[in-house]
Amino acid sequence: MLDQDSYRIWTSEFTAGSYYEGSWEKGERIRFLAPDGGGMTAVIDENRPFEHISVRHLGEIRNGVDDTESDAVKSWAGEAFERYTLREADGATLLEVTCDVTPEYEAMMSDMWPRALQRLKTLVETGA
């Protein structure tokens, strides 16, 4: 799910060619990027391997430049989270994802997340 190759596959449902720069280690900065240089900048608040990951979004990236100070991001920066919780149930691994989004992106994310998670499920189950 988190290595660069598999990340590129399942996140392609959001933007083809998505990738990240940085580390998934707790306290580290990470940049989620699209081929056009846009994306999100964040910090990993928690990483308990195979259990829980919490990503706190700090701002947007435009043309490769982090924006954490503009009025456009100040209303949500530092308070928008993406959380991944894994747990075992009946011999299977369940993944629960929660994601804070602003109202203007809610419909789009409601459409994209199920497709991305289906792609991740297929990736995990087939080992492809």
As a whole number of angstroms, the distance between CA 26 and CA 82 comes to: 14
Residue with tokens 């846009």: 38
Question: The domain containing residue 80 runs over which residues?
Answer: 4-126
Residues in the chain, pLDDT under 50: none
CATH of the domain at 53: 3.30.530.20
Asked if 119 contacts 10 with a C-beta cutoff of 8 angstroms, the reply is: yes
State the total domains in the chain. 1
The token pair at 76 is 């949500």
> What 3-state class would DSSP assign to 48?
strand
- What are the start-end ranges of the H helices in 1-128? 4-10, 71-74, 103-126
